[in-house]
Structures are given as structure tokens and as C-alpha cells.
């Protein structure tokens, strides 16, 4: 088994607070990838799959492969292209691979918490990659400790893997053990699980986080699991279907089999996947995410179009909605902000003067295009408002006459407990300020959000099939009072 290239103590003092904040956005938890292809270079295909899913997590990356009964694993802190090279991938032979990109939600940003999580069982090793977040981790941890389980990390993902191992220890096979362990898991979990005998793909009963199935062409065949279809496209796999809420798929040399492990599945896909997280070229609900975001912009223009000369976007995630807004309103769309796409996470902190104008590290205004213009600035969300205020100041400094901000989602008023790293509720600007107060705080001439009804109308689906708790506070999975108090304001807990 391969080890990490850097020892854990080199990173043990780093936490996610040490990284510069991204734009004023919530952060996704993870991207997962799995492949069963006996005659293919599964490690290299997984590398490219993770490369396509890099937007879902930039803290760590890992790949585990199964060469018959032998497990090989390599994981480290950093982007996929920083963690792996040809020499490392050549040391990961096998017919099955599991890959993971991580952004920490449960468990801090340490090398020990990088995935896939690996545990030993009487049936052989298990490697698990998890996208989502459990809401009953304290209970699961206590139960495992009572049974003398050896916890190596602080992640909820390890708890799932150890839960499966505990069931195997009781004499169950892979499928029975996994389905039994899942009964104790509450929250969001899309899983790719590798074993010496086959590959599993699993979604929680609400299907909060996405997971898709693809097929590899050619004589050798094979199956692929990925968080998004863009992970299939990059390796030439064809989209077959989604893993359904409450479903487990089992892939081995006999093909693919499906099992309904949950008796009461109820689809509640995270709406923020479509608004912001997923790549625009990924397919969700039989449409590209780009097309949905285009409709969001059109609906936003129907609800609130100011007098203006130009529509500009906060790139990249605000671009589709801005184009839709322009087409519906008739106000010309133009490039007003240029994004430096090579600014990633860094351990080197900017100087104080750079921090004061920190938005320029990622976005820079085109002064000659913007000077004297009344602009509509379209973004997909405002979470804290700090970055938005810096961006508005940069536009003012560039000579913009008026800034009318339009947001292609409703106000974010509640934190997520299911795999999106959002602040505590009191740090969410829309939870403590009115729209007029937010407009004044960030310094715009006017501000309008898309209505919840408009957001749902653009999905062209039943609104009951989505989780929109960050906008409504209506969570699809019951939360303990202790968990509520960890993120919700006191008055919310008392309601």
C-alpha cells in the first residue's frame, strides 16, 4: 500500500481558516468518482475524472485501487494536478478505483482526513469516498467507540466505513453489511465504495447530493460512478442514469445490479447544486446546468429590471444568469470583470494593503468599458456580503455611474447541515438584514433577489423534489436540538 508523500505532521497545524476565503460563496463538500474496468488504466481514468470534478473540492485528493485482493492508495493535500503525476499513477494498478476531491465540512483540513477512507475487514479492505454530511455523527461515534472501533480521523466518512466494517465483522457479506450500516446514517451521503469484489454507488434516501452512472465503450466495457456527468465526459464515458435516492448499485464482473436499501426514499436534491455548485456543462434532470441558470436569469429580469446600460456578471458562476437576464430585459450583455482563473488556495498570505483590496486577486474591472455606465451586476448568491461590498467598491473606483445588483437565487437565510460549508446563521447577511439594509451595506444603488417561486419555476419540476432549506429553513432530515444550536440563532431554535 502506498503512503502519502508528505507526513501528516507537516500539515497538522493547518486548518481551513488558514486558507484565503473564496468569493462570498458557500463551499461544496466533495467530489467522488469510481470505476470498474478490468482492462483499463483505472488510476489514470480516475485522475482525469477527479480533474473534471476539481470545482467540488480543492483541499485534498486521493485515489485507491484494487488489484484483485491488493489495495493501493495515495492521497495528499492539494489539487489533483499537484497530488498526482505519471510515476504515482503507475503505482496504482488494478481493476477497480475510487477517487475523491475534498473540501472539509465535518473534520478539519488535515492530511489524516483526506479520502478515500480505508478500513480493513475480514472480507478484505474497503475504500470509501463520501460527498455529503451526516447529522448524527456524535451518536455514530459513540456507538462505534462502545464496540472498540479504532477511529483514525475526525470525519463522518470514516464513521460510515467503520459501520460497514462492523457489520462485516458480524458475518455479513458486502451488500448486506453496507445496507445494514446505512440504516444508522442520517443526513446526506452519496458514496462510492471500493472492495476487492466489486464497486458500490449509494445515495441517501433523499438523494441530496448527486451521483451518476456511466458506461465505458469499446470491447472491454466497464462502469463509472461520478458526482456529475462532466466526470464522465472527460474520459469518454456515456451517461446511463442517476443513482436514485435510497438506491445501492453493485458493479462487478457480472455487470451492474440495483438494490433499494431504503424503504421510504423521498427525492430532495439540493437546489444549490443547480444554482451554483455543479459545472454548467453537467446534466441534471435531463438538462444542462447552464440551461437552468439561463432560465434563472430570465425569470430574474421578469421580476426586477432597472433602467441600465449594460448587464455584467460576477464570473464565472454568474455568467449564465447574466446572459439570461440580458436576453429577457433587452439590456446588452458585456464583459465588465475579468477573472484570474489561476488564483487557487495558497498558504502565503497577502499583505494588509492587498487584503484591503483582496477582490483584485480574482476579479479586476475593465475601466474603459465601465466608466460612466449604469450597470446591472448579476451574481448567483450573496452569503456574507463582505466580498460583494469590495467588488462594488472596485466598480465605483472604475468609474461606474450606477450599480444595480441582481441575485439569481433568494436570500440565503439558513445554514446547511448536509454537505455545504456555510457560516453560522448570524453570519449570513440575509438572516440579520433586510434587502434594503443589505443594499446599503454593500453599497449598491438597488438590490433585488429572485423569488423562491421564480427559482422553483425555472426548474420545471415539482418544488417538493428539492431541498431549499438554505432559503426557507425547512430541512428534509430532522435535526437534533444540539445540532441546531451549533449553527442556528437562538430564536430560531426556540420556534
What's the pLDDT tens digit per position in 178-235?
999 999 999 999 999 999 999 999 999 999 999 999 999 876 689 999 999 999 999 9
Residues 305 and 329 sit within 8 Å (Cβ to Cβ): yes
Domains of the chain: 31-267 (3.60.20.10), 289-339+354-460 (3.40.50.2020)
pLDDT at position 358, please? 59
What gap in Å lies between CA 119 and CA 129, rounded to an integer? 12
pLDDT per residue as tens digits for the range 13-47: 233 333 334 446 666 569 999 999 999 999 999 99
Q: How many CA atoms lie within 13 A of 362 on its CB side?
A: 18
Does the pLDDT of residue 489 top 50, yes or no? yes
Does the pLDDT of residue 465 top 90, yes or no? yes
How high does pLDDT run on average in the chain?
A: 89
Give how far Cα 3 sits from Cα of 78, 113, 435, Å: 15, 14, 51
Give how far Cα 34 sits from Cα of 62, 64, 229, Å: 12, 9, 13
pLDDT at position 153, please? 67
Does the pLDDT of residue 420 top 90, yes or no? no
The answer for residues whose C-beta is within 8 angstroms of residue 462's C-beta and 6 or more apart is none
Who has greater pLDDT, 422 or 325?
325
pLDDT at position 155, please? 81
Q: What is the largest CA-CA distance in the chain?
A: 73
366 CA to centre of own chain: 31
Does the pLDDT of residue 471 top 90, yes or no? yes
Three cell numbers, residue 80: 489533483
Give the containing element (helix H, strand E) for 321: helix 319-329
Three cell numbers, residue 312: 455584467
The Cβ of residue 379 has, within 10 Å, a number of other Cβ atoms equal to 24
pTM of the model: 0.91
pLDDT at position 348, please? 56
DSSP strand pairing (283-284 vs 402-407): unpaired
Who has greater pLDDT, 251 or 105?
251
What gap in Å lies between CA 363 and CA 306, rounded to an integer? 24
pLDDT per residue as tens digits for the range 89-129: 999 999 999 999 987 544 455 677 889 999 999 999 999 99
Three cell numbers, residue 70: 491488493
Does the pLDDT of residue 354 top 80, yes or no? no
- Residue 361 confidence class, pLDDT cut points 50, 70, 90: confident
Backbone torsion region of residue 318, taken as left when φ is above 0, otherwise alpha when ψ lies between -120 and 50, otherwise beta:
alpha
Who has greater pLDDT, 229 or 286?
229
Positive or negative: CA dihedral 358, 363, 364, 370: negative
Can you tell me which residue has the cell 488504466? 41
Q: Confirm whether residue 230 is marked as ligand binding.
A: no
The order of strands in the sheet holding 96-102 is 70-77, 60-67, 96-102, 30-36, 223-226, 212-215, 238-242
Residue tagged active-site, from 12, 30, 185, 230: 30
Beta bridge partners, 311, equal: 333, 376
Does the pLDDT of residue 63 top 90, yes or no? yes
The answer for residues whose C-beta is within 8 angstroms of residue 271's C-beta and 6 or more apart is 455, 456, 459, 466, 467, 468, 471
Give the three-state DSSP class for 265. coil
The answer for residues whose C-beta is within 8 angstroms of residue 136's C-beta and 6 or more apart is 184, 185, 186, 187, 480
The Cβ of residue 234 has, within 10 Å, a number of other Cβ atoms equal to 17
The answer for residues whose C-beta is within 8 angstroms of residue 310's C-beta and 6 or more apart is 331, 332, 333, 334, 336, 370, 373, 374, 375, 376
Three cell numbers, residue 118: 480505508
Would residue 30 show up in a list of annotated catalytic residues for this protein? yes
pLDDT at position 423, please? 73
Q: Confirm whether residue 467 is marked as ligand binding.
A: yes
Q: Confirm whether residue 421 is marked as ligand binding.
A: no
What gap in Å lies between CA 160 and CA 470, rounded to an integer? 25
What gap in Å lies between CA 174 and CA 177, rounded to an integer? 5
pLDDT, average across residues 62-72: 96
pLDDT at position 274, please? 95
What gap in Å lies between CA 345 and CA 58, rounded to an integer? 8
What gap in Å lies between CA 283 and CA 290, rounded to an integer? 9
Residues 312 and 376 sit within 8 Å (Cβ to Cβ): yes
Give the containing element (helix H, strand E) for 313: strand 310-313
Q: Confirm whether residue 270 is marked as ligand binding.
A: yes
Amino acid at each position: 500500500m502506498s503512503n502519502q508523500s508528505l507526513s501528516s505532521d507537516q500539515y497538522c497545524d493547518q486548518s481551513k481558516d488558514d486558507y484565503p476565503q473564496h468569493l462570498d460563496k458557500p463551499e461544496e463538500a466533495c467530489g467522488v468518482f469510481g470505476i470498474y474496468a478490468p482492462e483499463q488504466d483505472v488510476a489514470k481514468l480516475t485522475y482525469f475524472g477527479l480533474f473534471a470534478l476539481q470545482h467540488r473540492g480543492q483541499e485534498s485528493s486521493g485515489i485507491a485501487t484494487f488489484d484483485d485482493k491488493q489495495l493501493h492508495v495515495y492521497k495528499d493535500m492539494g489539487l489533483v494536478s499537484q497530488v498526482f503525476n505519471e510515476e504515482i499513477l503507475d503505482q496504482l494498478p488494478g481493476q477497480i478505483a475510487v477517487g475523491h476531491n475534498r473540501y472539509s465540512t465535518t473534520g478539519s483540513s488535515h492530511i489524516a482526513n483526506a479520502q478515500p477512507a480505508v478500513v480493513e475487514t475480514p472480507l478484505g479492505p474497503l475504500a470509501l469516498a463520501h460527498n455529503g454530511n451526516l447529522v448524527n455523527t456524535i451518536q455514530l461515534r459513540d456507538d462505534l467507540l462502545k464496540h472498540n472501533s479504532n477511529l483514525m480521523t475526525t470525519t463522518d466518512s470514516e464513521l460510515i466505513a467503520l459501520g460497514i466494517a462492523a457489520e462485516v465483522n458480524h458475518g455479513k457479506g458486502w451488500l448486506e453489511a453496507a445496507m445494514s450500516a446505512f440504516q444508522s446514517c442520517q443526513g446526506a451521503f452519496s458514496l462510492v465504495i471500493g472492495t476487492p469484489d466489486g464497486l458500490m454507488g449509494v445515495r441517501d434516501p433523499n438523494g441530496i447530493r448527486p451521483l451518476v452512472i456511466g458506461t465505458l465503450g469499446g470491447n472491454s466495457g466497464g462502469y463509472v460512478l461520478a458526482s456529475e456527468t462532466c466526470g464522465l465526459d472527460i474520459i469518454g464515458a456515456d451517461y446511463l442514469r442517476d443513482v436514485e435516492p435510497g438506491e445501492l448499485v453493485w458493479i462487478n464482473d457480472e455487470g451492474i445490479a440495483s438494490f433499494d436499501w431504503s424503504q421510504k426514499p423521498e427525492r430532495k436534491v439540493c437546489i444549490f447544486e443547480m444554482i451554483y455548485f455543479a459545472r454548467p456543462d453537467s446534466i441534471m434532470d435531463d438538462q444542462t446546468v447552464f440551461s437552468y441558470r439561463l432560465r434563472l436569469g430570465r425569470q430574474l429580469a421578469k421580476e426586477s429590471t432597472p433602467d441600465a446600460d449594460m448587464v455584467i456578471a460576477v464570473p464565472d458562476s454568474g455568467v449564465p444568469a447574466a446572459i439570461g437576464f440580458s436576453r429577457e430585459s433587452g439590456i446588452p450583455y458585456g464583459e465588465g470583470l475579468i477573472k484570474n482563473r489561476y488564483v487557487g488556495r495558497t498558504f502565503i498570505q497577502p499583505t494588509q494593503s492587498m487584503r484591503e483590496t483582496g477582490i483584485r486577486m480574482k476579479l479586476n474591472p475593465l475601466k474603459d468599458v465601465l466608466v460612466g455606465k449604469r450597470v446591472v451586476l448579476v451574481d448567483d448568491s450573496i452569503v456574507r456580503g463582505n466580498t460583494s461590498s469590495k467588488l462594488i467598491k472596485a466598480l465605483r473606483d472604475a468609474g461606474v455611474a450606477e450599480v444595480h445588483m441582481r441575485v439569481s437565487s433568494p436570500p440565503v437565510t439558513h445554514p446547511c447541515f448536509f454537505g455545504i460549508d456555510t457560516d453560522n446563521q448570524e453570519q449570513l447577511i440575509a438572516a440579520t438584514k433586510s434587502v434594503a439594509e443589505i443594499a446599503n451595506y454593500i453599497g449598491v444603488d438597488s438590490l433585488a433577489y429572485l423569488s423562491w417561486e421564480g427559482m422553483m419555476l425555472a426548474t420545471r419540476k415539482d418544488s417538493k423534489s428539492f431541498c431549499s432549506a438554505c432559503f426557507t429553513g425547512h430541512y428534509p432530515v430532522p435535526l437534533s436540538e444540539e445540532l441546531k444550536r451549533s449553527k442556528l440563532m437562538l430564536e430560531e431554535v426556540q420556534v
